[in-house]
Structure 1
Amino acid sequence: MTATMETTRSVVVERDFPYPPEKIWRALTQPHLIAEWLMKNDFVPEAGRRFTLSADWGQVDCEVQTIEQHRSLAYRWDTKDLLSVVTWTLAPTNTGTNLRMEQRGFKAEQKAYYHGATVGWPRFIDQLAEVVAKLD
């Protein structure tokens, strides 16, 4: 019996910010700030911690996979039949920070989820930029 690797797709959004990684990190990991740009949540920045993101349309069940302060954060993003992982990577640049978000795990038949993510993530990151701009 051979196991076949099912190919999945990813949504990647990259953006340069004129702020240090520490500032963006706060917006990615503090629940009250996450609520401002993404969704209501009970996030705790700790590997293995489960948390929920909730919106009018439903909720996302998550679990922190890896966390490296000011550098990277990955969590499971499971909703209905979508099992995916969202990874945030922060890289310092001469002018601030390059932020990279990747959500991987979209199966070929999950076109609606994939389309939703390709449209949704750039909007969320626009909102993230607004939240970060207001931080001291």
Structure 2
Amino acid sequence: MAEVATEIRSVIIEREISYPPEKIWRALTQPHLIEEWLMKNDFKPVIDHRFKFSADWGAVDCQVRAIEPNKTLSYTWDAYGLESVVTWTLTPTKTGTSLRMEQSGFRRDQEQAYRGAKHGWKQFMDAFEKVVSRID
């Protein structure tokens, strides 16, 4: 009997950003700022809060799973058959913050979603850094 590999893959992006975690946290958790770098949303930084990201191409259903201000934010990211989890980790450094984003849950048969996420998150992160640099 053949063993079916259910290998789950992640997209991971790490950036060193020259601003304190508190400033980066605002861009991750304030709906008007999230909209500037990611998508329209009805996000609230509350455990179990269900929210949506929406764009021209459709919507992503999400639910907040973990939140530790200025340190960790995790939420589900479900769209078009993809059931994944996005986790942001902020670690203070001497020059600012090490920001790590991991989207986990891509199955082997979700190559298109995986490639799309790899490409998309790089663009989102570039936009994110621009938004953070504008926050007072």
**TM-score between both structures, scaled by the size of structure 1:** 0.96
Pair 1:71 & 2:71 matched: yes
Match of 2:9 in 1: 9
What's 2:39 paired with?
39
Once residues 64 and 134 of structure 2 are traced to their aligned partners in structure 1, the CA distance between those partners, rounded to angstroms, is 26
Structure 1's unaligned 5+ residue stretches are none
Letter in 1 for 2:36: E
Deviation, 1:6, is 2.4
Per-residue deviation, residues 24-75 of structure 1 (Å, max 9, x unmatched): 0000000000000000000000010000000000000000000000000000
List aligned pairs for 1:43-122, cutoff 5 A: 43-122=43-122
CA–CA separation in structure 1 for the residues paired with 2:118 and 2:5: 24
- Deviating above 4 A after TM superposition, structure 1's stretches of 4 or more consecutive aligned residues are none
How many Å separate the matches in 2 of 1:68 and 1:7? 29
**Which residues of structure 2 form unaligned runs of 5+?**
none
Secondary structure of the 2:86 match is strand
Question: Structure 1 counterpart of 2:17, which letter?
Answer: F
| SS in structure 1 of the partner of residue 32 of structure 2 | helix
Q: TM-score, normalised by structure 2?
A: 0.96
State the alpha-carbon separation in 1 of the partners of residues 70 and 42 from structure 2: 20
Give secondary structure in 2 for the equivalent of 1:23. Answer: helix
SS of alignment partner, residue 123 of structure 2: helix
What is the alpha-carbon distance in structure 2 between the residues aligned to residue 99 and residue 70 of structure 1?
Answer: 11
Give the % identical residues. 59
User: How many residues were matched structurally?
Assistant: 133
The DSSP-based 3-state class of the residue aligned with 2:127 is helix
- Whichever residue aligns with residue 92 of structure 1, its letter is P
